[in-house]
Structure 1
Amino acid sequence: MNEPRDPDVDLHVPAQRREWSRGQLTLVATVALGGGVGATARYGASLLWPTAPDSFPWTTLAVNAVGCAVIGVFMVVITDVWAAHRLVRPFFGTGVLGGFTTFSTYAVDIQQLVVHGRAAAGLAYMAATVCVALASVWAAAAATRRLVDGRQR
């Protein structure tokens, strides 16, 4: 087999295979738990600020922008400030923020705009989401880094 493998784990050794399986199960469960939390928060946002199928999906755009800004802050904090537990990044970064931000709803929102005769709005939303998401993560990470650097002096 040509699958990627961890050179420190020999899966032919039963004890190492059990250790690897237990570690993978813990990681998957951690990401799934975080994803459930994030998706629930996103669903809550959609209930608080519902969007009609033919209107511009401001809620999804805002959720994705906020989620990207939080990931920008989070990544600076866990890489430059805090030596986090090994499961914090999978739980919060991949799970919570991955569940909170949404590519699937973004795609459905674009489809709904096109189906309702608003192709130009769908195209604008498609481009705006990418630009806003990238700008949010960059600005939040840069601001956090400046704040952290200022406090360390």
Structure 2
Amino acid sequence: MNPQFILAVAIGGAIGSVARYLVAIGAGRAFGTNFPWGILIINVTGSFLIGAFTGLFALKWDLPQAVRIFLTVGICGGYTTFSTFSLDAFYLMERGELVAAGLYMITSVVLSVAALVAAMQLVRVM
């Protein structure tokens, strides 16, 4: 194990986690808490961000491995929230909101993958 990589993940993860918390709080205030808007926004923007980083690493940026790990595993890993996504989907289902749960799950996955593809395509044309 490389201590530099572990530190990169730890620092990036802290930054990503704080960002996730702030976005979730802001979305809750802006849109209410009856639907997990914050996590939906986080999953889509996190997927876009990791797609952009991956595309930039492949085509534009020649960065050290520790920096790549910091940005993807650290920041993006701390920021994206598919574990929380699963919990929110469960709570919607548990409350009997099956249509909202289905829409939430489908929308999260489809938009997150689309955001990643869009970011990678955007980087390719830059």
Structure with the bigger percentage of helix: 2
Structure 1 residue ranges without an equivalent (≥5): 1-20, 148-153
Quick check: which has more Rg, 1 or 2?
1
Matched ranges for 1:71-110 at <5 A: 71-110=50-89
Structure 2 residue ranges without an equivalent (≥5): none
| Percent of aligned pairs sharing the same letter | 33
Distance 1:128 1:109 in 2: 13
Asked if 1 retains the 8 angstrom alpha-carbon contact of 2:12 and 2:74, the reply is: yes
Taking structure 1 as the reference length, the TM-score comes to: 0.75
How far does the alpha carbon of each residue in 1:53-106 deviate from its partner, in whole angstroms, 9 at most, with x for none?
A: xx2212111111111111111111112111101201111111101111111110
Distance 1:131 1:140 in 2: 14
Q: 1:68 aligns with which of 35, 47, 53?
A: 47
- Residue of structure 1 equivalent to 2:15: 37
Tell me which of the two structures has the higher relative contact order, counting C-alpha pairs closer than 8 angstroms and 6 or more residues apart: 2
Name the aligned partner's letter for residue 62 of structure 1: I
Report the alpha carbon displacement of residue 123 of structure 1 after superposing the two structures with TM: 1.6
Does the residue aligned with 1:49 lie in a helix, a strand or coil? helix
RMSD after superposition? 1.3
Taking structure 2 as the reference length, the TM-score comes to: 0.90
Q: What is the number of residues matched between the two proteins?
A: 123
